[in-house]
Amino acid sequence: MGEPTKILEGRTTVPPRSSGSIDVDGTDQTEREGSRAGQGRVFVSWVRRPRRPRLWFEILLIGVSYWVYSLVRNAVPEQAAAAMRHAHQVWNLETHLGINVEDSINHAMNSVTWLIVGMNYYYATLHFIMTIGVLVWLFRKHPGRYASARLTIFVTTGFALVGFYFFPLAPPRLMTGGDFVDTVAVHHTWGSMASGDLSHVSNQYAAMPSMHIGWSLWCGITIAMLAKPLWAKVLGLLYPVATLVVIISTANHFWLDACGGVVCLAVGFGVSYLVYGRLTYRLPQQVPQGDEPRRERRAKAAA
């Protein structure tokens, strides 16, 4: 065999070819992708960074959001025939499952006048008071968790509008052929748009899902997870249970409506988790000092 061929001295070796394409300006595709990924991480970090909520903005946001929610909810076509048909389908399904006891509970509670009247007022008012109250408490005591919690309840409510639109459902008290007592109409309870003279300004067939359950469960979980006194945690857990009893006793919802409210809340928690990377209750309680508005930092320093 002859000697191996020698590489000529002075020859310039060719550098390995890049796996990515080269732009006219000399930028490698890999570098561009890395730059975009870095920008994406910066954006996610900016979104997830806790900020102290501003009172005027939150009042305006909640007010406008509830106005839009009421507008959309009540603008949904009141499809009476479809709503009645769906009510009978839900009732038949519950009968098949053996959980159709709403009428018995409704009649039993209606026999105690003071109790059912109290439940009517509970149904008409407390879900607003409690939900706003918990938001105010989070705003003041848990500012680092407030935005995530607010997003959860907003997404929960927004998702419920999908159910109102695509699945109009008559509540048990309005179901034709049902043996239910409309407790608001019978006892002339003030303050509810569900029955009586104010019923024409509210969509009567927006029973699925139950936002009384979605909101009360959100309140209950939030209080149980973040409140310090044991008695407050217990009351927080009891609140959605009491709400469930009320919506059934007043014949405003079926059991399955309550399940729909739970599903909506689960969606709200899921979206909040995707946005903030953690559950609301695992976020820092307070906003880091560097992220507070400059005016607030100056006020604290002066104090």
Mean pLDDT, the chain, rounded, equals: 82
pLDDT tens-digit map of 228-246: 999 999 999 999 999 999 9
Supply the pLDDT for residue 193.
55
Supply the pLDDT for residue 5.
47
Alpha-carbon dihedral of residues 146, 147, 149, 153, nearest 10 degrees?
A: 130
Segments forming the whole domain that contains residue 227 = 85-285
pLDDT of 115 strictly over 90: yes
Q: Is residue 153 part of a domain?
A: yes
Alpha-carbon dihedral of residues 92, 240, 250, 129, nearest 10 degrees?
A: -140
- Surface-to-core class of residue 65, CB atoms within 10 Å of its CB (0-12 exposed, 13-18 middle, 19+ buried): middle
Q: Is residue 157 part of a domain?
A: yes
pLDDT of 3 strictly over 80: no
Supply the pLDDT for residue 123.
94
Which percentage of the chain shows pLDDT scores above 70? Answer: 71
Name which of 46-60, 68-82, 217-231 the model is least confident about. 46-60
In which element (H, E) is residue 121 found? helix 113-121
3-state secondary structure of 169: strand
Q: Is residue 127 part of a domain?
A: yes
Q: Is residue 78 part of a domain?
A: no
pTM over the 0.85 mark? no
Q: Is residue 167 part of a domain?
A: yes
Q: Is residue 170 part of a domain?
A: yes
Q: Which pLDDT band, with edges at 50, 70 and 90, does 13 fall under?
A: low
Supply the pLDDT for residue 253.
96
pLDDT of 45 strictly over 90: no
Cis-peptide into 209, omega within 30 deg: yes
CB 118 within 8 A of CB 234: no
Specify the number of domains making up the chain.
1
Q: Which pLDDT band, with edges at 50, 70 and 90, does 60 fall under?
A: confident
pLDDT of 259 strictly over 90: yes
Q: Is residue 64 part of a domain?
A: no
Q: Is residue 276 part of a domain?
A: yes
